[in-house]
Amino acid sequence: MIAVLLVFAFSPLPAHAQKEKIRVGYYEDGDYMSLNENGEYAGFNIEYLEKIARYTDWEYEIVDCRSWDNTLQMLKDGKIDLLPAVYYTEERARELLLSNLKMCDIYSTLNVRADDDRYHYEDFESFGGMKVGVIKNSVDAANFGKYCEGNGIELEIIPYEETGELLGALADGTLDGVAITHLGKNSTFRSVAQFSPEPLYIALAPGRERLLRELNQAQSQLKLRDPYYEAELYDKYFSVSIHQQPAFTAEEQEFIDHADKIKAVYGTADMPIEFNDPETGEFAGIARELFQSIENQTGLEFEFIPAATRAEAFGKIKNGEADVICSVVDDYLWAREHGLDMTGSYLRSPLVAVTTKHGNGEIIALPEGYWFSREIAKDNPGRTIKYYVTFENCFDALLSGQADVTFTDTYVADYLLSDIRYEQFSVVTLSGYVEEISIGVSKSADPRLFAILDRCVQYTSTEAIDEIVLQNSVVRQEITLDYLIHRYPAATIGIVVLVFAAVTGVLGYILRTKSKNNKTIRDLLYRDRLTGAGNLNQFRMDAEKVMEEKTRGEYAVVSADIEQFKAINDAFGFTEGDEVLRSLAAVLERSVTEEECYARVSADRFVLLLRYGGWEELAARTASIGREMEEWAENTKRPYSISMIFGVYIVQDAEKFETSLAMDFANYARWHAKTTRAAQTVLYDETMRREELRQRHLSDIMKGALKNGEFVPYYQPKVNMCTGDTVGAEALVRWIRPDGEMQMPGSFLPFFEQNGFIVEIDLHIFEETCRLMKEWADSGIAVKTVSCNFSRRHFKNPSFARQLAGIADRFGVPHGLLEVEITESIVMEDIYSVRKCFGQLKELGFKLAIDDFGAGYSSLGLLEQLDVDVIKLDRSFIRSESKKIKEEIVVRGVVAIASELGMEIVCEGVETKEQADMLVRVGCLIAQGFYYARPMPAGEFRKRLHGAQ
């Protein structure tokens, strides 16, 4: 297999075709697409398509189709090729070709004139009798009809052909309102309802399958190269503008009209976010100006209460002295701990590490009582933590040599670093730590207060926040000759930090999560939009109701999924995957009785509560579900088969039913079925219970073990087989328990991979390795390249490369001495994510290695795309006694081609002299294995390096 793939790897690529003209349907649609003052086509749709054109050989011909209805019909008739911003419906999925990836998520709105005060936000009673215009035959019109029906609203709906005509009718008073997709930034109307958030896709005419493949590939490339493009473009056209004001419900307006002064607590020294103005002693800063805007928008009045420390601020919330805290990190655990509800965030910022030139990072200064201080302390076990009252106190501790490093967000860092005293400090951004700053409202306060403040934050535009930030980002300082003399030599640092903070503020705020008021849209809370089945919320309610009312017999919780669903999605697209899910939901709907229930939990995972009349009966029912899905695939001539997997947990008659626990047990049985392939339907049994208890125990102790330093790196040398020299090493994790017992990786790593803790373990081993390498170098030892293993989970983190660079830089370890190692299977699973991340790591100077090469379907062409430095041959190449000649031929070929590509070959698992001799004969000179050295503690490896010198 590998030999064949080596041939394919070097096949020539087709030349680029000439630009192909694509006819794009156009109709006037506001910020989505319109003609600007220069007669140019502009808007969200146009700009998105121009971005797509960079990844295709397309050029566009815009065809004015006048109206939405006519545009859609022309697409169905093949008179145009492409139409952007199309909602999904089953009919459209049958008649048209829809892109795999969405353009964005958008919601529908009910809009009224800004000066029309007859309507409050979601005041259903006042909506009665309205004349509301909609676009004829649009999904918005259908969604609005359902919205009215669901909320008992009776009004007149009037269809229009064109968006311009519709909005004109609202502006001139012909209509009381329009129900339409969110109008965007330039809208001058007021939204009094929001509903039906749904994705928008690009639609292609029937028969354009080749164009669809090119479009899907282009969207995938765009998503991989610029994962935030969609959000940035959305914010450009659809975020709240300075002209749009929040609307409130009648109940909220009543609160505003009758509320006394609201007591809000703020920090006195958290410059520039909140502090006491040194001249007036009054509340000042970014938060103060935000609250001034809220006062202007609502008419509410606030009494601001100073607090010198975070503990004092939280104490005033707890004892009822204040209902609001002006700035607090939006973390749900932090909110729960302090009895707060958090609004949407109004600032977003990564943390920065601020250091002196001579510190070694061992003593950390942190402001006491802050969320990030606890996180930093937790993630830095073994270092000395010193707590101070304010951020400025922490900076002063660095200045006096009492600490080596402190942490803060970019806003505070920018503000303080503009002070001449701190100019010599260095700054490193830590993208792995991000603060989202919100307004906190006491859980004991009137809930209407939270709703009002949350909506005010939602309707505070990006431009307004940027203006506030810029006005509050500079220290007020007397400009003297002495100041100028000292200031300008370090101006570059100040400017860089200032620009970085401003850019981070703008781009970060683009991505802030905005709370959407959907309390009245029951379907969003309890139904799965794709399949129409209940969702997890509905299942919890239904299951608990069934179990409370049952009078006899037992029930079983069944966790089900489709074994090859990801492969179907990857090969045939998300639209096809959605069809499979709808079919499965239909099968389950027919399979359950009135005393049973089911729901879609996520992706292809469904959960059922079924009556249990014995194992054979239940197994027959699950087998029947599996057969129905197989028959559906056959009858609809699908080019694939479908296999179902089921995990079962039997709820005993006398047992107190706990939905989450029962689902966990059923999920564990399903996972066991999937990994062992023992049977289609697997029962949660005593063996699984013991394994579950073992894993729960691991889960209970793993974080404490990490904090206590029980996870340590062992190093297995890489050896030049010709000279015997140690040329590098691989870092491997070992768990040394307090009693001295060593846990081998196989006993805990698979579970940590499953629950995500592997991410913390990987980074810990990497950080320990960097620390040890610095220690070795400082003691005069010539440091060799060390490779560290990383889980597939890291490649979902867009900041992963910067995170590694930040750790390495903290210890001063050259990136070229660090090798990022992943297995071949990770590459084959998600080549796009890996390729993007590898590109970032390569730019930063790290070496890249593929482990277990040859264990699966390998391609050196694939590795050439990834530009790897090292290939580690899987031990299976040298294990077979019966295929020695073939093995030697294959290894020789791999070594020759890899050498041509400039890659180093390392062979793992070398245990005999015979194996070593064969590898040397074929040109593989570097090996790892017990024949040369077992993995060893850091101290022993250090002695080995020192002895070599």
Cα gap 685→687, rounded to integer Å: 6
Q: Which two tokens stand for residue 637?
A: 């001539």
779-807 pLDDT per residue, tens: 999 999 999 999 988 987 888 999 999 99
| Mean pLDDT for the stretch of residues 924-935 | 91
pLDDT at 4 exceeding the cut of 70 = no
Mean pLDDT estimate for the chain: 84
Q: Which secondary-structure segment (H or E) carries 904?
A: strand 904-907
Answer whether residue 890 shows pLDDT above 80: no
Name the band, by pLDDT with cuts 50, 70 and 90, for residue 827: confident
Per-residue pLDDT for 366 more than 50? yes
> How far apart are the C-alpha atoms of 295 and 302, rounded to whole Å?
8
Query: 128-132, 360-364, 529-533, 880-884: which has the highest mean pLDDT?
Result: 128-132
Least confident of 583-587, 645-649, 704-708: 704-708
Query: pLDDT for 898-917, tens place per residue?
Result: 777 788 889 888 988 988 88
Q: pLDDT at position 523, please?
A: 58
Q: Residue 420: what pLDDT? A: 82
Mean pLDDT of 108-127: 89
The Cα 669–Cα 675 span in angstroms is 10
Please compute the mean of the pLDDT values over residues 750-772 and round it to a whole number: 92
Pairwise CA distance, residues 318 & 59, whole Å: 61
* Nearest-angstrom CA–CA distance, 862 and 824: 10
User: Angle at CA 867, nearest 5°, toward 782 and 732?
Assistant: 45
Q: Are 588 and 596 in contact (CB under 8 A)?
A: no
Instruction: Give residue-wise pLDDT tens across range 645-688.
Output: 999 999 876 567 788 888 888 988 888 787 767 688 999 877 77
Question: What are phi and psi for residue 907, nearest 5 degrees?
Answer: -105, 130
pLDDT at 5: 37
Distance, CA of 657 to CA of 543 (rounded, Å): 9
Specify burial of residue 491 (Cβ count, 10 A radius: 0-12, 13-18, 19+): exposed
Spatial CA neighbour of 270 closest among 249, 251, 287: 287
CA distances to 531, 547, 599, 847 from 539, rounded to whole Å, are: 14, 12, 6, 49
Model pLDDT for residues 406-451, shown as the tens digit of each residue = 999 888 988 888 888 888 888 887 766 788 899 999 999 999 999 8
- The one-letter code for the residue type at 714 is Y
Tell me what pLDDT residue 90 has.
86
* Confidence bin at 859 (pLDDT 50/70/90): low
What does the pLDDT average to over 482-492? 47
| Whole-number pLDDT of residue 490 | 52
Query: Percent of the chain having pLDDT more than 70?
Result: 87
User: Beta strand 324-329 with 742-743: parallel, antiparallel or unpaired?
Assistant: unpaired
The pair of three-digit structure tokens given for residue 248, joined into one six-digit string: 């409130």
**Identity of the amino acid at 64:** D
Angle at alpha carbon of residue 70, lines to 64 and 75, rounded to 5°: 80
- Phi, psi angles (nearest 5°) of residue 226: -140, 75
Under the banding of pLDDT at 50, 70 and 90, the label for residue 474 is: low
Spatial neighbors of 476 by CB under 8 A, at least 6 apart, are 278
Question: Of the given ranges (13-22, 40-49, 380-389), which has the lowest mean pLDDT?
Answer: 13-22
List the beta strands (DSSP E) in 251-372: 262-267, 269-270, 274-276, 283-284, 302-307, 324-329, 340-342, 347-355, 363-367
Q: What is the pLDDT of residue 232?
A: 81
Q: How many helices (H) and strands (E) does the chain have?
A: 36, 38
Beta strands in 33-155 (DSSP E): 34-35, 41-42, 58-64, 82-87, 97-98, 104-112, 131-135
For the residues 166-183, what does the mean pLDDT come to? 90
Letter string b/e over residues 407-440, b meaning 16 or more CB atoms within 10 A of that residue's CB:
bbbbbbbbbbbbebebeebebbbbbbbbbbbbbb
Checking if the pLDDT of 504 tops 80, the result is no
What's the confidence (pLDDT) of residue 492? 45
Which residues are CB-contacts of 342 (< 8 A; sequence separation ≥ 6)? 328, 330, 332, 335, 438, 439, 440, 441
pLDDT at position 948 is 66
Q: Looking at the DSSP assignment, which residues form a beta bridge with residue 937?
A: 714
Give the largest Cα separation in the chain, rounded: 91
pLDDT reading at 500 higher than 60: no
CA angle 338, 343, 345 (to 5 degrees): 105
Q: What is the reported pLDDT for 484?
A: 43
pLDDT digits (tens, 9 = 90+) for 33-72: 999 888 899 999 999 999 999 889 999 999 999 889 999 9
CB of 634 within 8 A of CB of 626?
no
Q: pLDDT class for 505, splitting at 50, 70, 90?
A: low
Distance of alpha carbon 476 from alpha carbon 469, whole angstroms: 15
Which of 330, 399, 416 is closest to 365 using CA atoms? 399
Task: List, in sequence order, the alpha helices (H) in 155-266.
Answer: 163-171, 209-225, 229-238, 250-258
Architecture of the domain defined by 708-948 = Alpha-Beta Barrel (3.20)
- Is the confidence at residue 757, as pLDDT, over 60? yes
Tokens 């004015």 appear where? Answer: 64
User: Which pLDDT tens digit goes with each residue over 735-746?
Assistant: 998 888 898 888
Terminal CA-to-CA distance of the chain, rounded, Å?
A: 43
**Domains of the chain, residue spans:** 20-238, 527-684, 708-948
**According to the model, what pLDDT value does residue 362 have?**
87
Coil, strand or helix: which one is 480?
coil
CA of residue 949 relative to chain centroid, distance = 47
- How much is the pLDDT for 408? 92
For the domain made up of 527-684, give the CATH fold: Alpha-Beta Plaits (3.30.70)
- Where helices occur in 345-480 by DSSP H, the ranges are 371-379, 391-399, 410-417, 447-458, 462-471
Arithmetic mean of pLDDT, 368-372? 91
**Whether this model's pTM surpasses 0.85:** no
Nearest partner of 662 among 792, 559, 809, judged by Cα: 559
Q: What residues form DSSP beta bridges with 407? A: 353
Contact status, residue 718 vs residue 927, Cβ threshold 8 Å: yes
Strands 340-342 and 405-409: unpaired
The first and second tokens of residue 683, run together, are: 């029962």
Q: Can you tell me the distance from the alpha carbon of 141 to that of 178, in angstroms, rounded to the nearest whole number?
A: 10
Residues 315-342: tens digit of each pLDDT = 999 999 999 999 999 888 888 899 999 9
Does position 215 have pLDDT exceeding 50, yes or no? yes
C-alpha 120: how far from chain center = 35
pLDDT band at 476 (very low <50, low <70, confident <90, very high): very low
Rounded to the nearest 10°, the torsion over CA 797, 799, 801, 804 is: -100
Backbone angles phi, psi at 351, to 5 degrees: -80, 160
Q: What is the DSSP-derived secondary structure letter of residue 65?
A: -
Contact 892, 914 (CB under 8 A): no
SS3 content of the chain, % helix, strand, coil (to 5): 45, 25, 30
Asked whether the predicted pLDDT for residue 524 surpasses 80, the reply is no
Task: Tell me if 115 sits within 8 A of 109, measured CB to CB.
Answer: no
Fold classification of 20-238 is: D-Maltodextrin-Binding Protein; domain 2 (3.40.190)
- Residue spans of alpha helices (H) in 901-937: 913-921
**What DSSP string describes 732-784?**
EEEEE-TTSPEEPGGGTHHHHHHHSTHHHHHHHHHHHHHHHHHHHHHTT--PP
Residue with tokens 């499979």: 580
d(CA 836, CA 925) in angstroms, rounded, equals 30
Phi, psi of 249 (to 5 degrees): -70, 165
Per-residue confidence (pLDDT) for residue 482, from 0 to 100: 47
- Amino acid sitting at position 878: I
